[in-house]
Amino acid sequence: MAKGKEAGNRLIANNKKAYFDYFIEEKFEAGLVLHGTEVKSLRLGKCSIKEAYVQILNGEIYINNMNITPYEKGNIFNKDPLRPKKLLLHQYEINKLAGEISQQGYTIVPLQVYLKNGRVKIEIGLARGKKNYDKRESIAKKDQKREAQKEFKLRNL
C-alpha cells in the first residue's frame, strides 16, 4: 500500500471558534508554501490557527499569524513561527474571494489544517460575521442537541 493512502486525511489543527463567530458561506482547499522544518513540525501536530487571518495582497493570498512551533531538531533551518505563509489557489478562486470580501461584512477565515496524501492543506472559508443574537441562537441549538442526545442515551439503557 502506498504511503499516501495509509495517511489519508489527518487533521492537524481545527478552528472551532470560526464556526461560532461566522456564517461560513463557501469553503476552499488551498496548499501552503512551507519550508522543510515547518512540514516536520506540522506532521507532529504543532500548529495553531486560532489567531490566524487570511489576506489578499497583489493578487496573491497569504495567511498571517498561523503559529507553527519550530521543529526541535531543526536548529538553524527553523523559520519564524509567525511568518506570513503563501497559500496556493487558482487565480480565478483568488479573484472570486477578492470580489466577495470587498463587500461589507465578509472576510476569509482559516478553518482547519490537515495532511492530505502526504501534503499539507488548509481549508479556508468565505465568512460573514454573526451578530450577538445569532450567537445566542447557535448556543441554544447546541444545548437542545446535547439534551436530546442525553435523553436518548437514558431511554436506551
Residue 135 lies in a domain: no
State how far the Cα of 93 lies from the Cα of 88, in Å rounded to an integer: 10
Residue range 109-117: mean pLDDT, rounded: 90
Distance CA(53)–CA(114), nearest Å, equals 17
> By residue range, what is the domain housing residue 67?
3-130
Give every CB contact of residue 153 below 8 A, 6+ residues apart in sequence: none
Q: What is the pLDDT of residue 91?
A: 92
For the chain, what is the domain count?
1
Report the alpha-carbon distance of residue 142 to residue 78 in Å, rounded: 41
CATH for 111: 2.40.280.10
Name which of 75-79, 106-110, 113-117 the model is least confident about.
75-79
d(CA 40, CA 44): 7
What value does the mean pLDDT take over residues 74-81?
71
DSSP 89: -
Reported as a single tens digit per residue, the pLDDT across 6-23 is: 456 888 888 888 888 888
